Amino acid sequence: MDSSSLNRTISIIISFVIVFLINIPISWVLYKLKKPLIFLVPTLLLGLTLFWGLLVILAKDWGLLAYLVLSGLSLFGFLSTLSSSVILFFYLRSKDKNK
């Protein structure tokens, strides 16, 4: 692995962790409001990813590249928030069962 690919990998991991950590308090508040709402943020990002993906399919000019980048970023955010929401869901559920 050369240094540029190592830097890209580290940047991706740091970005994943940042989005992961930002989603935890948001999902925790939504969980306190109503338990199924813990998956609201990942669901919204999945919808956004599908929207950008549809625009990628329909685009016929250089806008395709922009839509592809936005779709990739949305997918990255979806995967990151989904993982943090699932971990938080099982953590809070086990914590509620122990009470």
- Six-digit token string for 80: 């990151």
Residue appearing with tokens 């993906």: 53
Rounded Cα distance, 36 and 31, in Å = 7
Q: Where are the domains of the chain?
A: 3-97
Rounded Cα distance, 67 and 58, in Å = 10
Rounded Cα distance, 29 and 68, in Å = 32
Residue appearing with tokens 């929401």: 85
Predicted structure pTM score: 0.87
Query: Tens of pLDDT along the chain (99 residues)?
Result: 678 888 889 998 999 999 999 999 999 999 999 999 999 999 999 999 999 999 989 988 888 888 899 999 999 999 999 999 999 999 999 988 887
